């Protein structure tokens, strides 16, 4: 039996390595357009994983993610910039993440008490109030036009296009360099989030989600755990914000609006609530799909060139129809999201290959967060 | 004093229109647990129908048809797209996101049709105003207050005195028990969606009428302002929606009216004031003003 | 037992995949198209070329909004610039090259716009159209780094002072100084009066307010500001507040819907004062709403460009051909400003070509050497000082439902007194 586990582990490690190598390839082939989409997707994935922790484990819903992204993005820009303390950029990154966590902590009087969809809407308030502050506190945020983001510099290596760098004959500009930073941050998020899910507090939160009363009886401090989940989720959002800021190279308040928050909610639901892999898939779906569709929609039949005729369907419109329809279709046919879809496909494949079902012990798929088996709750 | 009256009346009118929208949110949430992100585009859809039909049918005919068609559309969306997911809490989350997809498709199509135009709805009030003592109010606003009052009273009566209302309340209280008692959940839900659609179409008329210049592609966004109104009162409480709407309408009008005195909050605070109020209320009452505290049974 | 047999091949297979991928990486980067040069060089005719220019085409980019809040404006500009490109190509093109427009619609979404920029930037030499202040703001650093000559469809003074970014015509603050001058000159406003200013949150409103505040102070008047958002279309509360403050005139720097609401509400509430709008606050569609009579009676518009119904020969010719080419589209100020921008960039390109180079640096240099660029579509512009608006002359327009574009010229182009003082004090 132990042999078997070792075999699985080795295989897993090999798969992991292969995936890692494959993820390192794009900067050598794809141009800045694709790399930017990739960077946006990675940042979104980091934020979505944070939100997945909150909703999937603590059963909480947040529509305030855009606010915490903004705290991370602006926090980094302010800490490392001028006006601002002008700290070394490598120090500004963790501090910005802590700032986002602190903002989440300040919100804990609400986050600890308000539940489910109510918390979602309460956090919505943060987005609007935050946007107001971003526009008004001009000395810190630069007001409407935002601020330039200082490039990150790690031990003499700077993530921008300034000093020329060529790797294997390919010129490495800002996007190429940031790609690897994005990968590293994403890997960090992926492994810490999975660790957290399996840790003692993670299990306490899952108990909380399944039954608040039962968890309380078992000695889980409900409000404290809820607030803690909120803080952790905010910190991931802050990290995502930092990466976004670096990818955008300029932060503007209008980006961090309601639409962004709703996008994050869509990511975790489309991915499948409560799973790290699902959140990643959902993030790529919501971030990359509209961008790619807009880019390639003019290849579709019946789509007119932008601005050509009165009342014709332009590429952007076509892309929006397709994107909206994709959301509806995915969730109609896979209510448990992309993660559930993948799991079912894998199960079917495996069943076909080996008639005896082998439980995948190494990947304890997080319990279906679906409240299908959940005791009915009292709606206020 | 005149200024205060002016602001109060303006806020009341605004609150009356918000109430129509907020009530739609609440009815849908109560029946299906779904937060309807497509409400804004349903509203725009209703307004657009009135705009294109009023030349042929007259205002009243166009409005009646628009209300019916929007109600039918909302009901159909629920019956054929959302209800396939089921009735439990998890599917409610999923269906909430499905409404985002619906919103994207519907809004894109309507925006494409409306383009950059400002559509007039042919309403009978025009830009007429009435002098009420020292203050002046637009007739369309008085109509909004009157119509909202009647319609909201009607909706309350529906809830209280009809079998459908009873089923809805039973289903909201305990889905499974209601189903066991023979409540046809699907039909109750679809009915709620129809009602919300009708309310949205009605609200569109007042949102596009006089003090506003007409219906434009962004009119539906105003539904967002009704969000805090619905939450403030408690998402599942119609009474709360009404109270919340009035609070939000009055706050907005007063903050704008006294902007010069509230300078330290930053200009343009009127637009975010509803959210600030909402946060304060939720701090004191986490389930909203009229939300019952979910009692835990051990 | 079975596991022992399956284990080794599995590991080996995985290892093989890994090794294969690594080999692929190392081998294939050699033939990656990214490893080639940067596309700079000399064309067959000896002209220096860079991104966006080859032997027979010059590519210009447009980051526009055809599906968002500024869809009408975006469409007018795209069509007008397409018309310019067709006309230019029919005349033999520029520098013996065909002009091609690459249009990307971002729907007023910053992330889409930034991605679209990364998409088209390697293939275009300049951007004669970028719509959306947040979009322009997000792209500022990239545009500067790429030395990509850009004409934003935004007129905030904060966009001045950047070599590659050119605000055409006047900035919002200069417009509002002219508006205050117009009010004191023709509407009898005097020392001690209060002027209301309703303005959009953001760059547009802030810059306009700067101008009005400065001019009002100079004339001994006070400004009562009311900040609003793009989603506010019922300005009853704002009108009440302004009436309370006893304003003698109102300035508005917002969108067309807000202008219509403000004027309509003010008229119905008996606040019958002159209203002056910034150029983006008016659209011909307003003259089809119930507010039209009130607009005709109370509103004036300050603009760097003449009305499209003006009797300038260049404008008349352009309007005629536009109507012929796009009979279903309204002719608005966007058509004029888009066509003007395209024409100016055409002149820059021709000048750069004469100087022997069409790289981005050459185009920016050629552009900055123009100190009296006159396209016959309004006032001449001076691009040689990056810190100054290209023009300080403004027209005053009056709404007129019967005219093309819904407005007619009320006052010809002139420089408002005090503008020079203002610019030097800043």
Query: Which residue of B lies nearest to A56 if distances are taken between CA atoms?
Result: B90
The answer to whether position B200 is within a domain reads: yes
Q: Residue C325 and residue C84: Cα distance in Å, rounded?
A: 11
Mean pLDDT of C48-60: 88
Predicted confidence band at C398 (pLDDT cuts at 50, 70, 90)? very high
A234 close to A68: Cβ distance less than 8 angstroms: yes
Integer angstrom CA distances of residue C128 from B147, B179, C342, C349:
50, 63, 6, 12
Q: Residue C330 and residue C79: Cα distance in Å, rounded?
A: 11
Neighbours of chain A (3+ CB pairs under 8 A): B, C
3-state secondary structure of C232: coil
Neighbours of chain B (3+ CB pairs under 8 A): A, C
Q: Which of C375, C378, C372, C376 is nearest to C306 (CA)?
A: C378
Please tell me if residue A32 touches chain B, with a CB cutoff of 8 Å: no
Predicted confidence band at C149 (pLDDT cuts at 50, 70, 90)? very high
Q: Which of B22, B32, B27, B24 is nearest to B241 (CA)?
A: B22
| Chain A, window 97-136: residues with a beta carbon less than 8 angstroms from a chain B beta carbon | 109-110, 113-115, 117-118, 120-122, 124-125, 128-129, 131-133, 135-136
What the block records as the tokens of A277 is 């892999």
Domains and CATH numbers, chain C: 48-170+310-391 (3.40.50.2300), 172-303+396-425 (3.40.50.2300)
pTM: 0.83
What pairing do the DSSP bridges indicate for beta strands C249-253 and C275-278?
parallel
Q: Which of A295-304, B40-49, C43-52 has the lowest mean pLDDT?
A: A295-304
Least Cα separation, residue A311 to chain C (angstroms): 10
Please tell me if residue C255 touches chain B, with a CB cutoff of 8 Å: no
Q: Which helix (H) or strand (E) holds C110?
A: helix C110-120
CATH of region A31-305+313-365, choose from 2.40.50, 1.10.3470, 2.40.160, 3.30.2320: 1.10.3470
Neighbours of chain C (3+ CB pairs under 8 A): A, B
Task: Tell me: pLDDT of C221 over 90.
Answer: yes
- For chains B and C, what is the number of CB pairs under 8 angstroms? 118
Task: Tell me: pLDDT of A379 over 70.
Answer: no
Record: contact B118-C238, CB cut-off 8 A: no
Q: Which residue has the tokens 């999937």?
A: A56
Cα A332–B81–B20 angle (5° rounding)?
130
Least Cα separation, residue A243 to chain C (angstroms): 14
Q: Which of A36, A135, A310 sits opposite C329 (nearest CB)?
A: A310
Burial B43-70 (b: 16+ CB within 10 A, else e): bbbbbbbbbbbbeebebeebbebbbbbb
Predicted confidence band at C423 (pLDDT cuts at 50, 70, 90)? very high
Least Cα separation, residue C73 to chain B (angstroms): 8
Q: Which of A286-290, B288-292, C309-313 has the lowest mean pLDDT?
A: B288-292
Q: Residue B73 and residue B86: Cα distance in Å, rounded?
A: 20
ipTM of the complex: 0.85
pLDDT at B60: 93
Record: contact C261-B252, CB cut-off 8 A: no
The answer to whether position B158 is within a domain reads: yes
Query: Which residue of B lies nearest to C284 if distances are taken between CA atoms?
Result: B117
Mean pLDDT of A91-119: 84
Query: Which residue of A lies nearest to B284 if distances are taken between CA atoms?
Result: A110
Q: Residue B221 and residue C376: Cα distance in Å, rounded?
A: 41
C275 close to C250: Cβ distance less than 8 angstroms: yes
Q: Which of C267, C239, C259 is nearest to C301 (CA)?
A: C259
Burial B158-179 (b: 16+ CB within 10 A, else e): bbeeeebbebbbbbbeebeebe
pLDDT tens per residue across span A280-314: 999 998 888 888 887 887 776 666 665 555 556 77
How does DSSP assign B24-43, residue by residue? HHHHHHHHH----TTHHHHH
Across-strand partners of C62?
C103, C129
Across-strand partners of C396?
C302, C411
pLDDT tens per residue across span A151-188: 888 877 777 766 666 667 667 777 878 888 999 999 99
Record: contact C25-A33, CB cut-off 8 A: no
Other CB atoms within 10 A of residue C230 CB: 15
Query: Which residue of A lies nearest to C101 if distances are taken between CA atoms?
Result: A306
Please tell me if residue A140 touches chain B, with a CB cutoff of 8 Å: no
Query: Which residue of C lies nearest to B217 if distances are taken between CA atoms?
Result: C69
The rounded mean pLDDT for chain C is 86
Least Cα separation, residue B143 to chain C (angstroms): 16
C388 close to C160: Cβ distance less than 8 angstroms: yes
The answer to whether position B50 is within a domain reads: yes
3-state secondary structure of B240: helix
Q: Which of C228, C260, C269 sits opposite B118 (nearest CB)?
A: C260
B244 close to B233: Cβ distance less than 8 angstroms: yes
Mean pLDDT of B131-143: 82
Domain count, chain B: 1
- Using CA of residue C387, residue C390, residue C396, residue C401, what is the dihedral sign? negative
Predicted confidence band at A6 (pLDDT cuts at 50, 70, 90)? low
Q: Which domain holds residue B129?
A: 2-217
C58 close to C358: Cβ distance less than 8 angstroms: yes
SS3 content of chain C, % helix, strand, coil (to 5): 50, 20, 35
- Using CA of residue C146, residue A151, residue A143, residue C231, what is the dihedral sign? positive
Q: Which of B108, B211, B258 sits opposite C236 (nearest CB)?
A: B211
Least Cα separation, residue B278 to chain A (angstroms): 7
pLDDT at B202: 93
Record: contact A307-C78, CB cut-off 8 A: yes
The answer to whether position B36 is within a domain reads: yes
Q: Which of A283-287, B89-93, C281-285 has the lowest mean pLDDT?
A: B89-93
């Amino acid at each position: 039996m132990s042999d078997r586990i070792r075999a699985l582990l080795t295989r897993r490690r090999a798969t992991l390595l292969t995936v890692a190598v494959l993820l390192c390839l794009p900067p050598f082939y794809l141009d800045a357009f694709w790399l930017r989409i990739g960077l946006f997707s990675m940042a979104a994935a980091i934020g979505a994983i944070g939100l997945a922790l909150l909703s999937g484990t603590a059963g909480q819903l947040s529509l305030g993610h855009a606010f915490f992204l903004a705290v991370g993005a602006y926090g980094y820009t302010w800490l490392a910039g001028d006006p601002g303390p002008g700290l070394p950029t490598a120090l500004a990154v963790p501090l910005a993440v802590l700032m986002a966590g602190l903002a989440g902590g300040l919100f804990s009087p609400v986050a600890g008490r308000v539940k489910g969809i109510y918390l979602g809407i309460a956090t919505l308030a943060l987005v609007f109030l935050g946007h107001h502050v971003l526009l008004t506190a001009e000395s810190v945020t630069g007001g409407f036009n935002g601020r330039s983001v200082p490039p990150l510099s790690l031990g003499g290596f700077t993530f921008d296009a300034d000093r020329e760098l060529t790797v294997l004959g390919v010129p490495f500009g800002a996007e190429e360099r940031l790609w690897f930073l994005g990968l590293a941050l994403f890997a960090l998020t992926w492994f810490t989030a999975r660790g957290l899910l399996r840790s003692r507090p993670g299990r306490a939160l899952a108990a909380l989600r399944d039954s608040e009363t039962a968890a309380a009886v078992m000695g889980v401090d409900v409000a404290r755990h809820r607030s803690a989940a909120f803080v952790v989720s905010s910190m991931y959002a802050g990290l995502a914000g930092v990466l976004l800021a670096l990818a955008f190279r300029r932060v503007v308040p209008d980006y961090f609006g309601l639409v962004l928050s709703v996008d994050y909610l869509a990511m975790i639901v489309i991915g499948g609530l409560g799973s790290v892999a699902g959140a990643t898939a959902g993030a790529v779906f919501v971030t990359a799909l509209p961008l790619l569709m807009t880019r390639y929609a003019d290849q579709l039949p019946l789509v007119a060139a932008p601005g050509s005729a009165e009342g014709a369907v332009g590429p952007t419109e076509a892309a929006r129809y397709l994107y909206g329809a994709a959301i509806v279709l995915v969730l109609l046919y896979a209510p448990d999201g992309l993660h559930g879809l993948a799991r079912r496909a894998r199960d079917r494949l495996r069943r076909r290959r080996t008639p005896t079902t082998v439980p995948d012990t190494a990947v304890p798929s997080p319990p279906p967060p679906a409240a299908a088996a959940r005791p009915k709750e009292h709606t206020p | 004093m005149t200024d205060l009256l002016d602001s109060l009346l303006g806020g009341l009118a605004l609150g009356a229109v918000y109430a129509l929208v907020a009530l739609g949110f609440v009815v849908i949430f109560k029946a299906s647990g779904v937060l309807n992100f497509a409400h804004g585009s349903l509203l725009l859809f209703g307004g657009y129908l009135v705009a294109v039909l009023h030349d042929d049918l007259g205002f009243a005919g166009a409005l009646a048809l628009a209300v019916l068609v929007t109600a039918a559309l909302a009901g159909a969306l629920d019956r054929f797209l959302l209800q396939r997911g089921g009735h439990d809490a998890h599917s409610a989350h999923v269906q909430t996101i499905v409404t985002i997809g619906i919103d994207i498709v519907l809004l894109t199509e309507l925006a494409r049709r409306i383009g950059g135009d400002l559509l007039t709805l042919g309403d009978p009030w025009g830009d007429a105003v009435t002098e009420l003592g020292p203050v002046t109010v637009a007739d369309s606003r008085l109509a909004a207050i009157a119509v909202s009052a009647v319609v909201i009273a009607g909706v309350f009566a529906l809830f209280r005195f009809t079998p459908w209302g009873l089923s809805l309340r039973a289903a909201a209280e305990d889905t499974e028990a209601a189903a066991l008692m023979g409540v046809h959940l699907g039909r109750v839900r679809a009915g709620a969606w129809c009602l919300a659609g009708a309310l949205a179409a009605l609200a569109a008329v007042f949102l596009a009428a006089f003090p506003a210049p007409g219906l434009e592609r962004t009119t539906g966004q105003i539904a967002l302002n009704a969000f805090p109104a619905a939450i403030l009162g408690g998402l599942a409480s119609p009474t709360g929606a009404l109270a919340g709407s009035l609070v939000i309408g009055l706050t907005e009008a007063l903050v704008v009216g006294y902007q010069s005195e509230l300078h330290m909050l930053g200009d343009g605070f009127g637009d975010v004031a509803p959210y600030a109020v909402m946060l304060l209320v939720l701090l004191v009452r986490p389930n909203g003003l009229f939300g019952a505290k979910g009692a835990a049974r051990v | 037992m079975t596991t022992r047999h399956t284990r080794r091949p599995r590991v080996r297979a995985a290892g093989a995949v890994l090794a294969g991928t690594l080999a692929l990486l190392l081998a294939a980067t050699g033939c990656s198209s990214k490893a080639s040069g940067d596309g700079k060089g000399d064309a067959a005719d000896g002209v220096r070329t860079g991104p966006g220019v080859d032997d027979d085409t010059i590519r210009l980019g447009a980051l526009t909004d055809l599906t968002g809040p500024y869809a009408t404006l975006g469409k007018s500009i795209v069509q007008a610039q397409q018309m310019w490109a067709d006309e230019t190509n029919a005349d033999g093109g520029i520098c013996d090259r065909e002009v091609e427009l690459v249009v990307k619609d971002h729907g007023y979404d910053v992330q889409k716009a930034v991605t679209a920029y990364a998409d088209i930037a390697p293939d275009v030499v300049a951007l004669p159209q970028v719509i959306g202040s947040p979009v322009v703001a997000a792209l500022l650093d990239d545009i500067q780094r790429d030395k990509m000559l850009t004409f934003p469809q935004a007129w905030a003074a904060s966009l001045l002072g950047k070599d590659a970014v050119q605000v055409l015509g006047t900035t919002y603050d200069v417009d509002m100084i002219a508006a205050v001058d117009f009010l004191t000159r023709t509407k009898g406003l005097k020392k001690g009066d209060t002027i209301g200013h309703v303005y959009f949150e953001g760059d547009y409103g802030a810059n306009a307010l700067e101008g009005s505040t400065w001019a009002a102070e100079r004339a001994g008047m006070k400004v009562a500001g009311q900040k609003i958002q793009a989603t506010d279309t019922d300005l009853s509360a704002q009108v009440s507040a302004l009436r309370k403050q006893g304003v003698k005139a109102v300035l508005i720097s917002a969108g067309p819907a807000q202008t219509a609401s403000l004027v309509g509400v003010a008229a119905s509430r008996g606040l019958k004062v002159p209203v002056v709008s910034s150029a983006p606050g008016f659209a011909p569609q307003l003259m089809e709403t119930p507010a039209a009579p009130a607009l005709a009676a109370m509103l004036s518009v300050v603009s760097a460009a003449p009305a499209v119904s003006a009797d300038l020969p260049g404008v008349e010719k352009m309007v005629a051909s536009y109507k012929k080419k796009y009979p279903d589209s309204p002719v608005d100020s966007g058509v004029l400003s888009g066509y003007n921008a395209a024409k100016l960039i055409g002149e820059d390109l021709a000048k750069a070509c004469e100087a022997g180079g069409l790289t981005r640096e050459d185009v920016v240099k050629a552009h900055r050497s123009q100190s009296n660029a006159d396209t016959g579509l309004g006032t001449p512009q001076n691009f040689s000082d990056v810190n100054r608006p290209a023009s300080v002359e403004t027209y005053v327009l009056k709404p007129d439902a019967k005219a093309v574009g819904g407005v007619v010229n009320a006052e010809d182009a002139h420089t408002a007194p005090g503008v020079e003082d203002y610019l030097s004090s800043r």
